[in-house]
Amino acid sequence: VLYDEPTGRLALVFELMEMNLYETIKGRRHYLPEAKVKSYMHDVMKALDHMHRNGIFHRDVKPENLLLLDDEIKLADLGSCRGIYSRQPYTEYISTRWYRAPECLLTDGYYNFKMDLFAAGCVWFEIVALFPLFPGQNEMDQIQKIHNILGTPDPELLNKKFKKNASHMDFNFPEKKGSGIERLVPHADPEVVEL
């Protein structure tokens, strides 16, 4: 940490990493070894656990913000972080759309640290499958893609948890069961899918 007292500027200096996770998986023809997938996700979840235990959530977990050096992975780009206990509503347009949790899409800024866990799950899928799980073109398309795979939430849950905090969203989604993730990664060990 570098602090320039006269200007009040603060700079964070980090070690040089080779590349980000997106660069590692884009254009790959072969899946990553499951041991590497588990190791990466273990480290990502440890980083998020550390942040959350210290009262911070990242709000922009995505492959481009996971830096690699050899077999080490680190969570980077802390520019969107917020305090877990800071007052809601938060910024509505946060996080990269493909990794944005449903509560970020469905409400007017009423979400919490669990959005990081949803994003980590999307990153896990992308490491395993080598393509993004929910590549929505816009917010409505994003919600549809989530519903197609995970199914629609119970209407009672939507109305109870989200409707009061969403002035811009209609919650009359057609009911879908969801296809599940397993069929999208048939090559993956069931233990990895369960993760």
Judge whether 188 and 164 are in contact, CB under 8 Å: no
Judge whether 116 and 55 are in contact, CB under 8 Å: no
Residue from 74, 94, 73 nearest 82 by CA: 94
Q: In this model, does residue 181 exceed pLDDT 80?
A: yes
The H or E element containing residue 185 is: none
Average pLDDT, the chain: 87
Model-level pTM? 0.86
Helix/strand/coil for 97:
helix
The more confident residue out of 169 and 29 is 29
pLDDT in tens, 104-163: 787 766 678 899 999 999 999 999 999 999 999 998 899 999 999 999 887 777 666 666
The H or E element containing residue 26 is: none
pLDDT band at 66 (very low <50, low <70, confident <90, very high): very high
Q: In this model, does residue 49 exceed pLDDT 70?
A: yes
Backbone torsion region of residue 27, taken as left when φ is above 0, otherwise alpha when ψ lies between -120 and 50, otherwise beta: left
Q: In this model, does residue 166 exceed pLDDT 70?
A: no
Q: In this model, does residue 52 exceed pLDDT 90?
A: yes
CATH numeric code, 17-194: 1.10.510.10
Q: In this model, does residue 23 exceed pLDDT 90?
A: yes
Q: Which residues pair with 82 in a beta bridge?
A: 57
Q: Delimit the domains of the chain by residue range.
A: 17-194
pLDDT on residue 102:
86
- The question of whether 43 is a catalytic residue gets the answer no
Q: Which two tokens stand for residue 70?
A: 């050899």
Angle between helices 114-129 and 34-53 (to 10 degrees): 170
| Catalytic member of 4, 60, 141, 170 | 60
% residues pLDDT > 70 (the chain): 88
Residue from 69, 25, 66, 20 nearest 46 by CA: 66
pLDDT band at 80 (very low <50, low <70, confident <90, very high): confident
Judge whether 109 and 85 are in contact, CB under 8 Å: no
Residue from 114, 111, 102, 91 nearest 143 by CA: 102
pLDDT on residue 167:
60
User: What is the number of other CB atoms lying within 10 angstroms of the CB of residue 86?
Assistant: 10
pLDDT in tens, 82-91: 888 888 776 7
